[in-house]
Structure 1
Amino acid sequence: MEISQAFILGVVEGLTEFLPVSSTGHLILTAHLLGIPHNTFTKSFEISIQLGSILAVVFLYWRRFLTDLELWKRIGVAFLPTGILGFSFYKFIKGYLIGNDVVVVIALVLGGVFLLFADRVCERFCYLGDARELSYKRAFAIGLFQSLAMVPGVSRSASTIIGGMLMGLNRKASAEFSFLLAVPTMLIATGYDLFKSHGEFQSQDWQVLSVGFITAFVFALISVKALLAFLSKHSFLPFGIYRIVIGLAYAYFFLL
């Protein structure tokens, strides 16, 4: 992978990590378009640069992380399902799911349909304006939804946002909880993957990874602020439609 390609992938990761459109699916699609082979390093690269995006959330929400104990309790409960299942199925996910075009296409399209459904439900039943109002049972349920994102193309952001809305959070509160829940989830996922794979990296690989990491951080800052501003006036309808369209386009160009 060249430096310029790492920069492009970093831009894609930063812009899509917190949007409910699947950053992994977009990274795989972009790698296809750039002619980057999907090998062990590429898979680790796609996982690791997500940490750059996650640190953007830490930068934006550091006060809440330091002061809001009730929020941390709910984040911890919501993290449990993904933590347990992620460690249990790590080899299967990285070996058979990441990079699987058929899985990505199906997940993108079905995820778009479910996002449209959840958005309609939100208009009637989403009454909670802050994640601290969640019961621990509902926080755990959102964590179960997040665990679906171990399948590439589902989107961690989409699955937690859908889960949050179905558990009663309004659109903005659900999106913010999704941002915050990403921090322990992706810190541990990235750290574990680097621990397992760092011996296979060469010196130039770390340079490429650094470029992708920093680029993802900068563009994630833009993406998070833009999404919250958008949700203050609009619904998730455009994202649901976009997922379906991009999934069908992906299938047409790379599967047919």
Structure 2
Amino acid sequence: MEIIELLKAVILGLVEGLTEFAPVSSTGHMILVDDMWLRSTEFLGQYTANTFKIVIQLGSILAVTIVFKDRFIELLGLYRLSKKRTYVVKKNNHLKLSHVIVGLIPAGVLGLLFEDFIDEHLFTTKTVLIGLLIGALFMIFADLARPKTPRIESVDQIGYKQAFTVGLIQCLSLWPGFSRSGATISGGVLTGMSHRAASDFTFIMAVPIMAGASGLSLIKNWQYFTLDALPFFIVGFISAFIFALISIRFFLKLINRIKLIPFAIYRIVLVAVIYFLYF
């Protein structure tokens, strides 16, 4: 495999890592960068290129597990592995695995029911642009309509009602381009969470739902995981992991200060750019 193709894998991993967990839609950015510029389908083939995008998404998921490793250890009850064992064990009021499951149920059920329909009918440039735009408007609405003083400053204060409400709103992200993190962070702040608490809950919920969806897709497309494409896959995976690790830490430090509206404005600009270039 040529150096230029491996460089493309680095760029695609960068795009995935930087945009997967920010509320800007990684799908929209992949259309802009890959479908219009790098065109990985031309040298990998359509199905192998799709499999590659699943693999680099797994790199982003691994980054989340690293950032929230102590939280996941706590959720799974593996306290001996945690550096914060004393703190974790003594806390009575804390986020439980059951909260995460409650938040995952609505989108998980709808995703399984409508997976084929979504794959066949909603992954077009026009539908992604619609998702980007409506998602941006929803984020603006969430920032303007949210309670001025958040009642929930930490994920450890989230109740089952808030978790389920965020889960229901996450269903909007089944429309490609809407952005899962954009939907869930917006839903969180509308239920009284701070932007940081909503972001933490969003990232924690992302791991099981994205790992499950990516794992199933990878099994379906395993035959396209060829030895010739393996260096491309490995480089893309590592690139996505590194840049996701950087972007998640940066985003979590930033989100309470800038809120959602700047990301929404960026999405509207992105819609205009894609529409101008594509149509």
Aligned-pair CA distance for 1:94: 2.4
Select which of 30, 55, 58 maps to 1:51. Answer: 58
Matches within 5 A, 1:8-157: 8-31=11-34, 32-37=36-41, 39-68=46-75, 70-98=95-123, 100-122=124-146, 124=148, 126-157=150-181
Calculate the TM-score normalised by the size of structure 1: 0.92
> Any unmatched runs of 5+ in structure 2?
78-94
Alpha-carbon distance between aligned partners in 2 of 1:121 and 1:42, rounded to the nearest angstrom: 41
Counterpart of 1:176?
200
Cα RMSD over matched residues?
A: 1.9
Alpha-carbon separation, structure 1, partners of 2:118 and 2:271: 20
Kindly tell me the number of residue pairs found equivalent between the two proteins. Answer: 254
* SS of residue matched to 2:257: coil
Letter in 2 for 1:66: I
**1:91 Cα deviation after fit:** 2.1
CA contact (8 A) 1:112 1:243 kept: yes
Answer whether contact 2:67 2:249 (CA < 8 A) is retained: no
Q: Measure, in 1, the Cα distance between the counterparts of 2:199 and 2:274.
A: 26
Q: How has the CA–CA distance of structure 1 residues 119 and 209 changed in structure 2, closer, same or farther, with 3 Å as cutoff? A: same
- Looking at structure 2, the residues matched to 205 and 244 of structure 1 have their Cα atoms a distance apart, in angstroms, of 35
SS at the partner of 2:119?
Answer: helix
Work out the CA distance in 2 between the residues paired with 1:94 and 1:156.
Answer: 16
TM-score (norm 2): 0.85
Structure 1 moving runs of 4+ over 3 Å: 68-71
The alignment status of 1:238 with 2:251, answered yes or no, reads no
Which sits farther off after the overlay, 80-89 or 5-14?
80-89
Counterpart selection for 2:235 from 211, 221, 225: 211
State the shift of 1:241 in Å.
0.4
Q: Which amino acid aligns with 2:111?
A: G
Contact 1:105-1:247 at 8 Å conserved across structures? yes
For 2:179 and 2:260, the matched residues in 1 are separated by: 14
Name the % identity.
41
Aligned to 1:222: 246
In structure 1, C-alpha distance between the alignment counterparts of 2:187 and 2:109, rounded to whole Å: 18
